[in-house]
Amino acid sequence: MIREYKDSDFEALHRCFCLLQDYERDFEPLRLPADQMADAYLKNIFEKIERYKGKIFIAVADDVEPEEIAGYISLLGRMEFDSDLNYTAWIAYVTDLIVLPEHRKGGTGQKLIKAAEDYAREQGSSALFLNVLAENKLARTFYEKEGFKEYDLRLRKEL
């Protein structure tokens, strides 16, 4: 089941985010450990959610009592597209998506993406954007199956 975030979800959301951050450190060691940045990051995300008509959707594991959080998606629902370079349009941006490993392969990720897409449309956004680490093949494959296409590539050179 997918539902909107409630304040009582914060502890589970925090745990999920920490797992995501530490997982992404396997691909990008420059990322800070979750215990050094999670609180400040989540505070910033909640502020951006307010500013950009955002929302957090929570995936709840089916048939589990008490309620068990299986993952979440957070998105900024309405942002101006890079109008200095492109046509003027409103877009939505996924800041985070995680499905806990024990809940993968059951359609939870697809349901979270669908909830984000529906909400973004309600906000008048014409596209959904996200970033993914280049080496995160599992996530890239999932996003491609969900219809995402490469739009912009950032390259980095160590100095």
User: What DSSP designation does 41 have?
Assistant: H
Task: Measure the CA–CA gap between 125 and 6, rounded to whole angstroms.
Answer: 24
Helix or strand run (H / E) with residue 117: helix 108-122
pLDDT digits (tens, 9 = 90+) for 123-151: 999 999 999 999 999 999 999 999 999 98
pLDDT digits (tens, 9 = 90+) for 18-74: 999 999 999 999 999 999 999 999 999 999 999 999 999 999 998 777 788 999 999
| pTM for this prediction | 0.93
The domains located in the chain, with CATH, are 2-145 (3.40.630.30)
Which DSSP string corresponds to the chain?
-EEE--GGGHHHHHHHHHHHHHHHHTT-TTSPPHHHHHHHHHHHHHHHHHHTT-EEEEEE-TT-SS--EEEEEEEEEEEE--TTTS---EEEEEEEEEE-GGGTTSSHHHHHHHHHHHHHHHTT-S-EEE---TT-HHHHHHHHHTT------------
pLDDT digits (tens, 9 = 90+) for 64-116: 777 889 999 999 999 888 766 667 789 999 999 999 999 998 999 999 999 99
pLDDT for res 63: 76
